[in-house]
Amino acid sequence: MSKQSLPKELETLLRLTKPKIDELSYETILKQITSSFNWTYFLERAIATNLAGYLLPYPEIGRQYFPTFVDDQIRGYQRKIQLHSSFLREAILEFVPQLDRAKIPYALLKGWDLHFRFGSSLKERQISDIDLLIDAKDLDQVQAFFEQMGYSTTRYVYKSKWHERYQKQHTPLQAQKGQIYFDVHVCLFTEDEPYQIDINSLLLNRTLIDNHQVFVLEKKAAAVHFYLHLFKDLYYGPHFKPSLLIENHFYSCLNGIDELASSWNALKEIKTIQRFIEQVDLSQDNSEFTNQFYAYLSGNALPYPARVKQKIRNSIRRTTPNWLRIPLFWKSIFPDYSYLKYYFGQNSYWILWSKRFFKLLTKVA
């Protein structure tokens, strides 16, 4: 969907949720809305894109102009995400002291980085879970801490030692207690990506947020991670959230990002996503990412060629050296016994292998 064909409801949604919008501009936009405006569609897309959390920077003005049913649902949405995020926040403040006492370095990522570093409101940004970065060597101890505190944990089981060493999962541990979810990262992105990121260095140079006593990434590292995450969601699809663009204003004036991105072998991706962000304003629409953004914003499916392009990208993006492909392929067909036992129960290797084989055949069929 090109910019020129963007419905007025979606243009209004983008304008009302612009970061740091002033009171006069906010009221002027609302005053310009005509009787033909489809408030039901506006509300549906605001909630679906998570932009509803940002629609009431001036609540009293909003109450004057939004229809009652729209105002009520926006406020209800904000109360809901604020309540859930409050539970998550309490879980963070309860859990991370365990890591501090054990001298296990960690850093909070994504939404919780923004909340503790910049004070982003819990009723604006929807945060579904808690992303925690640790060193891979501390996984067992961190898992034990979760289990001691009543969490159920799920550990990623690798097909082989080859896979564990050369195709490391970036979130090999998940912990859950009720509606509280932790995703435990040992790297920022999967091994499929060409980035060169030293996790030990990131954790060594992390930043302490004094008033909360929690650790986050150093600011420039958090900025590059944010832009690369945005790039990944747009480049590979299909889980991009338009509300993520609002967070750009936290980092847009930060110096030194290009130098760090270059050291991560990620400068090309950073420049691509920064050009996209510049083109999202109401005057430009000539990039692939911009068109995809408006498709996500409107809830329309991407055009078929774009979907095919994303599937191709997902299938060929691996950066595994050629010499490793044979052992990895072999162990993908004949994984370790521990892998088969974890997923298919106790039995002989070949019985479990047969169960997996027939399950794969069923999926293909």
**What is the DSSP code string of 221-243?**
HHHHHHHHHHHHHHHH-S---GG
Residue 364: what pLDDT? 42
Q: pTM score > 0.75 for this model? A: yes
Residue 292: what pLDDT? 80
User: Do 125 and 17 touch, CB atoms closer than 8 A?
Assistant: no
Residue 320: what pLDDT? 64
How many angstroms separate the CA atoms of 202 and 221, rounded? Answer: 8
First-to-final CA distance of the chain: 35
CB burial of residue 309 (10 Å; 0-12, 13-18, 19+):
middle
The upper half-sphere exposure of residue 50, i.e. CA atoms within 13 Å in the direction of its Cβ, equals 19
How many angstroms separate the CA atoms of 31 and 18, rounded? Answer: 17
**3-class DSSP assignment, residue 104:** coil
> Which residues are paired to 106 by β-bridges?
134
User: Do 274 and 254 touch, CB atoms closer than 8 A?
Assistant: no
Give the CA angle between residues 331, 332, 337 to the nearest 5°.
Answer: 60
Residue type for 156, please?
Y
Series of mean pLDDT values for 10-residue runs along the chain (365 residues): 72 93 97 97 96 96 97 98 97 96 96 95 94 96 97 92 81 95 93 86 95 94 95 79 87 91 95 85 60 84 75 60 80 92 92 90 59
Please state whether beta strands 130-134 and 106-108 pair in parallel, antiparallel, or not at all (unpaired): antiparallel
User: Do 203 and 135 touch, CB atoms closer than 8 A?
Assistant: yes
Place of tokens 């419905």: 7
Token pair in block for residue 306: 């774009």
Q: Residue 84's closest CA among 114, 131, 119, 129?
A: 129
